[in-house]
Amino acid sequence: MGSKNRIFLGFISDVILHFIRNIFNNKDLYITKTKYNKIKIDHPKEHRSLNNIDFQKFINGTIGYCMYQKYENIYNFVCIVDNEYYIYSISINNHYLEMGTFFRASSKRLRKCKKEDIEFFNENCKISFEKYVN
């Protein structure tokens, strides 16, 4: 558990920090208790992964990111864990990094993220993503 209203999820990986430079001022990722409970209701299967041991797998499995233009300081990350794609968002909130959303992504949702000019961390990940989406 984090302090006050935050729950600690894990550390941002060096790969993410390499591609998104000078944006995140620390590596600790948290979720607010309100968002935690909302995900528990909306996505109960994914909710089971929201502890710092399990969620670190998702952070380490991140293959790329896209940024919604209408919201500043919100980055959407695409990750693959156990041959399933997931999307989670990180927002820069004051001095903390907070997760906003977390869900298993359908191919339709991934096509929408693809339209937002997704940036891949690795060319092999891009190829497998393209095969899955098309």
Tens-place pLDDT, residues 120-134: 999 998 898 888 888
Least confident segment among 9-13, 27-31, 112-116: 112-116
Domain count, the chain: 1
Which helix (H) or strand (E) segment holds residue 62: the answer is strand 62-67
Flag whether 58 is in a domain.
yes
Q: Which pLDDT value is given to residue 2?
A: 44
Flag whether 54 is in a domain.
yes
Flag whether 64 is in a domain.
yes
For the entire predicted model, the pTM comes to 0.86
Over 90: is that where the pLDDT of 112 sits? no
Per-residue model confidence as pLDDT tens digits over 69-104: 566 778 889 999 988 999 999 988 777 889 988 888
Task: Please give the Cα distance from 95 to 25 (Å, whole number).
Answer: 7
Q: How does the average pLDDT of the chain come out, rounded?
A: 85
Structural domain including 37 reads 6-133
Cα-Cα end-to-end distance for the chain: 40
Flag whether 1 is in a domain.
no
**Mean pLDDT within 3-18:** 86
Task: Please give the Cα distance from 39 to 42 (Å, whole number).
Answer: 5
Residues across the chain: 134
**Dihedral sign, Cα of residue 100, residue 103, residue 108, residue 114:** positive
